[in-house]
Amino acid sequence: MAIWHSTPTLEAINDNAAGCMPGYIGMQVTELGDDYLVGTLPVDRRTRQPFGILHGGASVVLAETLGSIAANLVVDTDKFYCVGQEINANHLRPVPEGEVTGVARPVHIGRSSQVWEIRISDPRGKLSCISRITMAVVPHGGQ
C-alpha cells in the first residue's frame, strides 16, 4: 500500500523543480513507487568538481531534493509542509561519468519529523553515496 498522501505525475514533479537548483543541474525524478522515490543526475560539467568526478555537493543536492519531495508527498500539504533540518552524506566511491541514481526510502515518518535514507548508485549499480535527511513537519501558519 502506498504511503503517499498525494501522487502527482512525474511530469508535475519535474516541472516544479525545473526552474531551480535540481533543474539547473539536470536532475530528474524518474519513478514513484509505493514507498520510495527515484531520481537521476548526470555527471557532467555542471556536476563535476575540479578533479573530474561527481561533486559531493551535487550528490547532496540529489539526496536532499529526493528526501524533500518524498517528505512533502507524505503529508497533507493543505495543512503541513516539510523542510530539511539536517542532512549527512558519506561519499563512498568516485563517479567520473554517466548518470547516478538516487533512491529515497523512509526510515521514520512521524507527526513532527521524518527521516529518509537516500542511496545513490553509479552507472554500474555500485553504491557511491549514502545520505540521511531529517525533515521537520511544519503546520501552515506555525513557525
- Name the residue ranges covered by the structural domains of the chain: 10-139
Looking at 3.40.50.2030, 3.10.129.10, 3.40.50.12780, 3.40.309.10, the CATH number of the domain 10-139 comes to 3.10.129.10
pLDDT above 70: percentage of residues in the chain: 99
**How far is CA 64 from its chain centroid?**
4
pLDDT of residue 143: 55
What is the rounded distance in angstroms from the CA atom of residue 82 to the CA atom of residue 86?
12
- What's the pLDDT at 141? 80
Report which of 45, 42, 37 is spatially closest to residue 67, judged by C-alpha positions: 37
AA identity, residue 129: C
Catalytic choice (31, 64, 86, 97): 64
The pTM of the full predicted model, rounded to 2 decimals, is 0.96
Residue 128 pLDDT grade (very low, low, confident, very high; cuts 50, 70, 90): very high
What would the grid cell of residue 116 be?
529518509
- Residue-level pLDDT at 142: 58
Helix (H) or strand (E) holding 133: strand 127-139
Catalytic residue flag (residue 64): yes
pLDDT in tens, 36-89: 999 999 999 999 999 999 999 999 999 999 999 999 999 999 999 999 999 999
